[in-house]
A and B are shown apart, each in its own frame.
Chain A
Amino acid sequence: MKWKATLLMAILVFAVIASGCIGSTQETKTETSKVTLTGDFTKDVIEIGKILQQNGINEVKFAAWGSGDPNSVMRVYGIVDAAYKINKIWEQNGIKVKITVTTKYDQSFKDQYQEFLSKQPLGQAGDFFVNSYAFLPTLAEEGYILDITEYAKAYQNVIDDFYPNLLEAAKYKGKLYGLPQDTEARPLYVRKDVAKCAGLDVTTLPEDVKSGEFTWSDVYYWAKKAKEKGCAEWGLIHRKGSAHPDLIQFIFAFNGKLYDPSTGKLVLDVPAVYKWLYVEWKFAQDGLLPKDIMSWDWAKQIHPTIVEGRTLFDIGGTWYWTEWQTKQYYHGRGLKPEEVKEWFAYTLFPAGEKGDKPVTLSQPFIWMINSKAGQLNPKYEELKDVYHALAFLMIVKASDSEINAIHSVISAHLPVRKEAAKLIKDENWLNKLKNLDLDLAPEVKDNIKDIVEKTVNPINAKFLADVSYMLEYTHLAPAHPKYPALADIFKEAVDKVLRGEMTPEEAVKFIEDKIKADKELADNVEIKGEIPKEWEFPRGD
């Protein structure tokens, strides 16, 4: 009797489990919906809206993740504004669907990247992710971001308006994985009053640098002179922390390479890296550059030293221009736009030596779409393609030249589209922006009001227009999944030569040894050339 009862129970349990399985299969088996984009934004948006409505969806939820300095919030509000404009189109056409966007804005782009990596597989990462192009290869390789090559074909007119080299930064293995959001140049700032004291004429400097006449030998010469004459405490200040991407400008300035497209491998260009480390070592040993600059404090040391005029030269980014105005680096206050204009001249990063070319370096930020975008919405499996197409249209809208121009002016990043570059030169448009008399989402207006008040003025717009030419000289760090590991080694080597723990020769050997010690890095990096025997810096000194 007992075994009968056991058998009955077993059959019952099996039946319950089996019915659950059968039921779930039936539930997911419905027809999928596809969208074909036409390139007509309004038409495409309406088409998507109708499909969503037919499927009973009345709210689409997305999350936008962005990061950076406090002035760069358009990296997330661009998406919020895109939702606002799409909602408007749907409303005007009687479609009862609404997009709502939640935002997450962090200070550190590296931390947010790490968070994205860990949460994407769990389906908890943002649907939109704006971050450095340097991470794009890894994200694409892992399948964490959406390949938008096919979608983009319909919007070729928009794509063509982006600067081509920036568009390249959004590609990996020939496929497009996002749209450029912003970029920047890294000028050499020159403190005008210190230059005057040392006898350096800054009026012709940008042209001399551009023509390759003024090289790093000259930077050394004037830095030394400024220090010897007591004009400034330091000759040169540069950024700290990761050598990527600021200091690798030296490699390009000494005509070196970091990547070989024919092999797809990273390159350790020994002569160029040696010259870079030698320059750093020489400046530090002669007391022109702080030996411990790599561990200086941003807010208490680096920026105050520059804005208080305690250095002649500074390697920085274009965004410094507005950062100095919005943060209290100068004796407890921010600089006025007029002060920044009066105190600082700016040029390209000079050529390493005569015969080389001046350079700058950009690290474009890219609007990427999570490959699981929209997954928290109803009927995701059936409507995946619709959600993805909608997400693509949102980054197209967020890339509107007006949004891009607003971001550029308030954060001193360079525009990524030709149309946006024209807009920032338009005085009428700038006045409208100053009064926020533009068609923007109310939430966006509220959030950028204070930043606009402090940063929108003709001086800042002119600065952006003035530095835009630098993009013609720009280089990008290689889009290679192993590059961050190599950049890490560069950073360590620079720190050691600055502190005098290693000579430039020893540091090059150190880099080589570190590469060879990591089997995977050794397979991905070609070591080329040798330390030049007869080379001297500064020339003729």
Chain B
Amino acid sequence: MKNEKLRDLSFFLFPMVFMVVLFYLIPLVLTVYISFTGMRNWNVDKYLHQVVGLYNYERLIHMFKYDPTFKAVILTTIVFVLITLIINVFGGLGLALGTFFMSEKPASAFRLLWLLPRMSPIAVYSLVWYYFFHGSSIGTLNSVLMKLGVINQPIPWGQIVPWGAWSVIIFVNGLVGVSFGMIVFTSALNQIPKELVIAARVDGASAWEISRRILLPLMKWHFLYVLTWQFLSLLTTYPHLFLLVEWDLVDRDYGTTLALYVFNTAFGRGEQDQGLAAAAAVILSILGIIGGFVTLKVLQFEKMIKKPRGDL
């Protein structure tokens, strides 16, 4: 009987376990292994067996101690992840609640508008903001402000460190990420029985009171999901940042997060140092695991996965 259960379980779980091992576990193990090798320039044949121990980690620590700009990368990672996370989660929540109280047609159009940044190709979307925030008079923002007489000289927005650079990268990424929360929260709101809202309305509750007392408590798990997902996603995101830094729109020290640093070190320089990048990626993964774990613990994730009381 026991064997039979195990066989059934194996049969149903195999595809998922296989995918997890193939696409998650093996890359993770490989990344850790590469971080202990001198791998560079994609030369697997030459470097894969060249184990250098903790050398790459020593290099990272040395850089952290002595590099005049490496600390800017760490600081940028912290600020970027935290502020963008707040914007993405609460912005998404605000948009979902806002459209919930609107009639269906304008609400759909409004939601679609917020999805546009996610639907646009990254290069096109980044180019729009490149010209918008450009630090000279060819920049749309500068040009408008100058025409209105608000400023006399163009302002190099992305080059004002640290907050100018941070504001641009947070703004651009915030706009992309906010739609994810909006979709999840909208879907959650649509699952809440309408009777509850109608009853509250009949009792004279305002939209704010309905949101605070009925809707938000019922969306706790969705909130937790969006928060954790977006945190991990922001910690590892870099494509928009890469282009904004590459095009010199933002200061490269205060526009570079650890994820972008990993990418640039592995693939973006004259000498591509995959060993060093892997070491930085391992640290990034550890930060992600700790961060994700703390989020789930603080918001008591275990309560959500408790077995339901009674029999089905």
Contact = CB atoms under 8 A, between A and B. Distances in A.
Interface residues of B, number: 34
A142 B161 CA distance: 39
Nearest to A119: B42
A248 to B, nearest CB: 14
Interface string B262-301: 0000011111100000000000000000000000000000
Given A117-B41, A138-B271, A292 B156 contact: yes
Interface stretch (B21-29, B89-97, B130-138): B130-138
B271 A292 contact: no
Contacts of A483: 270
B63 A485 contact: no
A117 B66 contact: no
A516 B66 CA distance: 8
Nearest to A520: B59
B138 A519 contact: no
Contacts of A300: 138
Contacts of A294: 248
Interface stretch (B43-51, B80-88, B169-177): B43-51
A120 B66 CA distance: 35
Interface in B24-58: 41-46, 58
A125 to B, nearest CB: 10
A485 B270 contact: yes
Interface in A475-521: 481-485, 487-488, 492, 499, 501, 510, 513-514, 516-520
Nearest to B253: A492
Interface in B112-151: 134-136, 138
A135 B134 contact: no
Given A143-B46, A292-B136, A484 B69 contact: no
A158 B41 CA distance: 33
Contact of B159 (A142, A292, A481, A482): A292
A118 B269 CA distance: 12
B46 A297 contact: no
Nearest to B59: A519
Interface string A507-539: 000100110111110000000000000000000
B156 to A, nearest CB: 5
Given A499-B159, A513-B66, A301 B268 contact: no
B84 to A, nearest CB: 23
Given A142-B41, A297-B134, A517-B66, A484 B59 contact: no
Interface string A247-272: 00000000000000000000000000
A237 interface: no
Contacts of A138: 41, 270-271
B59 to A, nearest CB: 5
Interface of B: 41-46, 58-59, 62-63, 65-70, 134-136, 138, 156, 159, 161, 247-249, 252-253, 267-272
Given A295-B248, A484-B270, 13 more contacts: A114-B272, A135-B270, A142-B43, A142-B46, A143-B46, A294-B248, A295-B249, A482-B271, A483-B270, A517-B67, A518-B67, A519-B58, A520-B59
Give 9 closest A-B pairs by Cβ, nearest first: A484-B270, A517-B67, A295-B248, A517-B66, A513-B68, A142-B43, A142-B41, A517-B63, A118-B42
Interface of A: 114, 117-118, 120-121, 134-135, 138, 142-144, 240-241, 292, 294-297, 300-301, 481-485, 487-488, 492, 499, 501, 510, 513-514, 516-520
12 contacts: A114-B272, A118-B42, A118-B267, A135-B270, A138-B41, A292-B135, A301-B138, A488-B270, A492-B253, A499-B156, A517-B65, A520-B59
